[in-house]
């Protein structure tokens, strides 16, 4: 299932970077099929998901999705977290995000899609899971990072030390805004088939969009699927996977799946730690004994790319 999804996503990204006319783009890439606009204030871009787009999302995940309408308190909460984003991210959302859509039972935390007008100008749409408004960051990240493993009677447990004062929407919105920034400014290379292009962020780390160089690849990485109801990885492999992760420049297992997730995850946890003192430490436990702890902000390979993030924030 993981490989099928990657192929679909790769083909999608390839088509997003092409310069074909909007009339032959897939429906989810056409601005005409959305109901938002960059002329709206950000709060007014939180909209009901268009039926056409909702239908396409249902097909993608094979889930009977419905649009979630935020009440005034929820919109106020969302805007409070929008105000906590770095200034450069607030600007990129104002300039490039045409709509923000909450989806009931969404099969992920969030998703950002490039969208094009008739002239080939790129904008983006952000889709979010409403549960991130109600679960704190620690609850959501523990749920997310454990979703790749079988929920069995293993003596091994994966426990994330994070933060319970902020709602998960803060982290997810920061992550999705990182994708918007990346799509517009190419921190990672624009997809163009079997590209050999690289940026400072991906050079000597990634072979291509979904495959790191051999030095940073590890067993079961290609089997990682978050939130899926399909085949999961035994928790008995968690120690080996996180041990391998400590020898890579990836901030998380999620960041190890593709180069766009590598950037979004690395920037998110860098920013949350530096500017909001939010920890992200994964503990692999067996019968209450800590076998391994991984903090990406203590990983020298991860920290080597912090200069790129500092330039973004200048």
Cα distance between residue 2 and residue 207, in whole Å: 18
pLDDT in tens, 206-240: 999 999 999 999 999 999 999 987 789 999 999 99
Cα distance between residue 189 and residue 198, in whole Å: 6
pLDDT for res 25: 83
Long-range interactions of 13-22: CB distance < 8 A, separation 24+: 13/191, 13/209, 13/260, 14/191, 14/192, 14/193, 16/114, 16/116, 16/122, 16/183, 16/191, 17/190, 17/191, 17/192, 19/120, 21/118, 21/120, 22/116, 22/117, 22/118, 22/119, 22/120
pLDDT for res 194: 57
Cα distance between residue 297 and residue 295, in whole Å: 5
Cα distance between residue 313 and residue 103, in whole Å: 31
- The mean pLDDT value of the chain amounts to 91
pTM: 0.91
């Amino acid at each position: 299932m993981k490989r099928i999804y990657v192929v679909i996503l790769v083909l999608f990204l390839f088509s997003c970077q092409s310069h074909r006319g909007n009339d032959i783009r897939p429906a989810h890439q056409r601005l005409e099929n959305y109901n938002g606009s960059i002329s709206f204030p950000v709060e007014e871009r939180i909209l009901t998901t268009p039926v056409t787009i909702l239908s396409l999302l249902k097909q993608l995940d094979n889930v009977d999705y419905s649009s979630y309408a935020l009440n005034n308190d929820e919109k106020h909460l969302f805007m409070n977290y929008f105000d906590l984003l770095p200034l450069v991210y607030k600007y990129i959302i104002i300039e490039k995000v045409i709509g923000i859509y909450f989806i009931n039972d969404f099969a992920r935390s969030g998703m950002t899609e490039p969208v094009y007008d008739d002239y080939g100008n790129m904008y983006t749409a952000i889709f979010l899971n409403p549960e991130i408004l109600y679960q704190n960051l620690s609850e959501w990240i523990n749920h997310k990072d454990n979703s790749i493993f079988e929920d069995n009677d293993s003596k091994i447990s994966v426990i994330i030390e994070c933060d319970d004062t902020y709602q998960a929407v803060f982290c997810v919105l920061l992550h999705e805004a990182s994708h918007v920034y990346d799509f517009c400014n190419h921190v990672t290379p624009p997809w163009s088939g079997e590209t050999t292009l690289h940026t400072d962020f991906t050079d000597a780390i990634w072979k291509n969009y979904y495959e790191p160089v051999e030095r940073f690849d590890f067993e079961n990485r290609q089997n990682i699927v978050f939130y899926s109801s399909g085949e999961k990885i035994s928790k008995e492999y968690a120690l080996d996977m996180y041990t391998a992760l400590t020898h890579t420049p990836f901030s998380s297992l999620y960041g190890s799946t593709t180069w766009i997730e590598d950037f979004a995850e690395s920037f998110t946890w860098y920013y949350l730690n530096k500017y909001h003192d939010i920890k992200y430490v994964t503990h692999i436990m067996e019968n209450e004994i800590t076998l391994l702890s991984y903090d990406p902000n203590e990983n020298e390979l991860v920290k080597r790319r912090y200069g790129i993030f500092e330039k973004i924030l200048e």
